[in-house]
């Protein structure tokens, strides 16, 4: 599952970079949809870890439970109406659910004596702080650094630490 995390993360960053250099409707959708699948995959990983799913069949059921709403979400945004507020709300809700799940994982790790039990909780809090840049937009400093660019910059070390945690936890 870690390989998939790396692929989704890399794809998401690539889509974002392309969109921010070439702002077209298709690049915008790739950016938004890849970010959404990235948020959803962290939820998926946390749920897999929290529930201690150990068989391929159990994990596949969870994957379908995540994939079906995602496909419906993308279909709605692509075929019915591209609604920025709805998309942001959907990602925020999945992100908040992920927070809860990863806090449970941290608690489970603490109870089991895991030496790095605290890491998912701290990383979720840091990601929430970074997300506040996205949620509470502000005018650019020096006509260059806006909230969105700072959000992207803030996520770089957090994502690197997430990967480190996921590798150690595997």
Residue range 83-126, pLDDT digits in tens: 999 999 999 999 999 999 999 999 999 999 999 999 999 999 99
Residue range 51-80, pLDDT digits in tens: 999 899 999 999 999 999 999 999 999 999
pTM of the shown model: 0.90
Q: Output the 3-class SS for 28-94.
A: HHHHHHHHHHHHHHHHHHHHHHHHCCCCHHHHHHHHHHHHHHHHHHHHHHHHHCCCHHHHHHHHHHH
* Statement: residue 44 has pLDDT above 90: yes
- Inter-residue contact 124 to 99 (CB < 8 Å): yes
> Which residues does 128 contact at the CB level (< 8 Å), separation at least 6?
95, 99
Give the pLDDT score at 61.
Answer: 97
* Statement: residue 134 has pLDDT above 90: no
- What is the distance between the alpha carbons of residues 114 and 3, in angstroms, rounded to a whole number? 23
* Statement: residue 151 has pLDDT above 90: no
Comparing CA positions, the residue from 73, 106, 112 lying closest to residue 91 is: 73
């Amino acid at each position: 599952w870690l390989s998939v995390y790396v692929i989704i993360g890399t794809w998401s960053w690539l889509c974002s970079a392309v969109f921010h250099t070439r702002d077209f409707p298709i690049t915008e959708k790739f950016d938004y949809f890849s970010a959404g699948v990235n948020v959803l995959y962290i939820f998926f990983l946390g749920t897999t870890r929290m529930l201690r799913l150990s068989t391929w069949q159990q994990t596949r059921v969870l994957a379908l439970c995540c994939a079906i709403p995602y496909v419906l979400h993308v279909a709605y945004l692509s075929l019915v109406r591209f609604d920025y507020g709805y998309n942001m709300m959907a990602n925020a809700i999945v992100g908040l659910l992920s927070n809860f799940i990863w806090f449970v994982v941290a608690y489970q790790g603490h109870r089991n004596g895991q030496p790095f039990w605290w890491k998912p909780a701290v990383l979720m809090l840091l990601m929430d702080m970074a997300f506040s840049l996205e949620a509470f937009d502000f005018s650019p400093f020096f006509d260059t650094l806006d909230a969105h660019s700072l959000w992207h910059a803030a996520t770089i070390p957090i994502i690197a630490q997430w990967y480190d945690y996921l590798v150690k936890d595997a």
